[in-house]
Amino acid sequence: MILPQPLQQLVNAFERLPGIGPKSASRLAFYLLRDSSNMGQELSDALDGFRDKLAFCEECFNITVAEKKLCEVCSDEARDRRIICIVEDALDVLSLERTAGYKGKYHVLHGALSPIEGVGPDDLKIRPLYARLEDGEVEEIILATNPSMEGDATALYLSQQLAQYDIRVTRIARGLPIGGDLEYADQNTLLRALSGRQEMD
Amino acid sequence: MILPQPLQQLVNAFERLPGIGPKSASRLAFYLLRDSSNMGQELSDALDGFRDKLAFCEECFNITVAEKKLCEVCSDEARDRRIICIVEDALDVLSLERTAGYKGKYHVLHGALSPIEGVGPDDLKIRPLYARLEDGEVEEIILATNPSMEGDATALYLSQQLAQYDIRVTRIARGLPIGGDLEYADQNTLLRALSGRQEMD
């Protein structure tokens, strides 16, 4: 049996999303069909042209509403202009903001260096970063790219490039995750946790 | 940080879907933001008013396009009118059709009996089932409600009600799933597999 065409179309559209397989796609479609609230229509409205309503912040390349040049963070006078935290994706900004433990600014690279995938420095928002350092206001740059091969390579590259500036360059700590278990930690994480050991307060 | 409003709205809409948590919701939204194909807009279009384009089959209550009174199965002359397979949801019809092993018709109850949730016989499409039996053409009814407490209760209720008709009433087999492992099977499934044992051919 082929599903009625409008339903099949919806299943197909869900199935194309990352992390949603054929079974979840049909389940979602049938769920929305039965749903008595207006969930499906609300999702449709939220999706309709949402990309045209968004743009990148002209300073840090975080996401912002199209009518504003600066994002929430960059337009916030209370944020510390002396620290810039460099991340790969705008989603990482969201994760860091959720911790409520960082009061500096951000810079979103929109990717990481990857020779295999042909991503070089000019494919990332690296040049605009240098421009932000011109006025000499920035005192520290935190490299918060992912603790992956690409993220580490990007951090290494940036730390070399930034050596010419009189700026403290740091890398976010890598080690055992909180709530983690030595027994289940992989070798690399354990090695990193050992070499990165710190004095007890 | 609050996300830009159009993005936050999209995250919220995704988050309301079953099985999609806050993290998956942001991931989906950011994925669609970066996506260079037109995936988000296609999903929006597929969702837009899709329910108005669908209706229930007048005979078996499966899903059909709004302009047709009968579903794909009921309007197919090649299907065996003498067997009706009773299922809880239209999604179950899809699962059974995928097996390509059933050539009879269906009847979708749209739920299962559940005293706890206040679902009685009149809340399900049970009366229209009796109407389908009037002409005496049906020879077998397969009770394919879920092997759950509600599904079993519904099957029991229907088998009692159907006793007044001269019709063979069967229940789909319950036992170990194919590829399953005795070691990991729960007690009830094992008991059912034992009591439902069959002669080797």
Residues of chain A below pLDDT 50: none
Q: Which CATH architecture best describes the domain B77-171?
A: 3-Layer(aba) Sandwich (3.40)
Subunit contact A1:B32, Cβ cutoff 8 A: no
Burial class (CB in 10 A: 0-12, 13-18, 19+), A40: buried
Residues from chain B that touch A7, judged by Cβ atoms under 8 A, are 50, 54, 63
| A179 Cβ under 8 Å from any chain B Cβ | no
A27 CB neighbour count, 10 Å cutoff: 18
Is residue B1 predicted with pLDDT exceeding 70? no
pLDDT value of position A92: 92
| A16 Cβ under 8 Å from any chain B Cβ | yes
Per residue in B57-80, pLDDT (tens digit) is: 999 999 999 999 999 999 999 999
Q: How far is CA A109 from the centre of its chain?
A: 9
Subunit contact A48:B26, Cβ cutoff 8 A: no
Rounded average pLDDT over B27-35: 91
pLDDT value of position A46: 93
Rounded-to-integer distance, Cα B107 and Cα B148, Å: 19
Is residue B2 predicted with pLDDT exceeding 80? no
The domains of chain A are located at 5-47, 77-171
Band of pLDDT at residue B20, cut at 50, 70 and 90: very high
Is residue B30 predicted with pLDDT exceeding 70? yes
Residues from chain B that touch A41, judged by Cβ atoms under 8 A, are 47-49
Of B12, B27, B47, Cβ closest to residue A10 = B47
pLDDT value of position B196: 83
Per residue in A65-96, pLDDT (tens digit) is: 999 999 999 999 999 999 999 999 999 998 89
Q: Which of residues 72-131 of A touch B (CB under 8 A)?
A: 72-73, 89-91, 93-94, 97
Rounded average pLDDT over B189-193: 84
pLDDT value of position B70: 94
Hey, what long-range contacts does B34-41 have (CB within 8 A, 24 or more apart)? B39/A13, B39/A16, B39/A17, B40/A47, B40/A50, B40/A51, B41/A47, B41/A48, B41/A49
Subunit contact B41:A63, Cβ cutoff 8 A: no
Give A51 to chain B, closest Cα distance, Å: 6
pLDDT value of position A143: 94
Rounded-to-integer distance, Cα A27 and Cα A40, Å: 13
| Spatial contact of B86 and B109, defined as CB atoms under 8 Å apart | yes
| Listed residue (B78, B85, B71, B75) closest to B139, CA to CA | B85
Per residue in A171-188, pLDDT (tens digit) is: 998 888 888 788 888 888
| B7 Cβ under 8 Å from any chain A Cβ | yes
Per residue in B86-115, pLDDT (tens digit) is: 999 999 998 899 888 899 999 999 999 999
pLDDT value of position A131: 94
Residues from chain B that touch A1, judged by Cβ atoms under 8 A, are 72-73, 93-94, 97
Q: How far is CA B12 from the centre of its chain?
A: 27
- To test the contact with chain B by mutation, choose from A34, A36, A43 the residue with the greatest count of B C-beta atoms within 10 A, namely A43
Name the fold adopted by A5-47: Helicase, Ruva Protein; domain 3 (1.10.8)
